[in-house]
């Protein structure tokens, strides 16, 4: 089975079970995931999200900071910055 066919065959129910297994580190029956199983499950989750979800709904999505937030941060840092004094 091709990887894309595999991803296309994943149902929302299977996705939830795989996601839960990755989060808990074990299957629903209590058996611990091997390192290889964990890696494969994570690949499937990421690929499934890529094909079926908007970018901001995907696993691991980190929203970008707004420009105004970054400027506010710079202003805050200016107040806390102190020059370095070199001693000879």
pLDDT for the residue 11: 94
pLDDT for the residue 37: 96
Q: What is the DSSP letter of 63?
A: P
pLDDT for the residue 81: 65
Q: Where are the alpha helices (DSSP H) in the chain?
A: 3-9, 12-24, 35-52, 67-80
Q: Mean pLDDT per segment of 10 residues, for the chain of length 88 residues?
A: 87 95 96 96 92 86 71 58 75
pLDDT for the residue 4: 85
CB 33 within 8 A of CB 22: yes
pLDDT for the residue 23: 94
pLDDT for the residue 62: 86
Domain residues of the chain, as ranges? 3-80
pLDDT for the residue 85: 81
């Amino acid at each position: 089975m091709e990887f894309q066919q595999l991803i296309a065959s994943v149902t929302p129910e299977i996705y939830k079970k795989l996601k839960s297994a990755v989060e808990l580190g074990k299957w629903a029956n209590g058996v611990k995931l091997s390192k290889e199983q964990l890696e494969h499950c994570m690949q499937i989750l990421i690929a499934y999200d890529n094909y079926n979800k908007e970018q901001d709904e995907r696993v691991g999505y980190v929203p970008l900071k707004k420009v105004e937030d970054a400027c506010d941060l710079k202003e805050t840092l200016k107040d806390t910055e102190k020059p370095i004094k070199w001693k000879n």
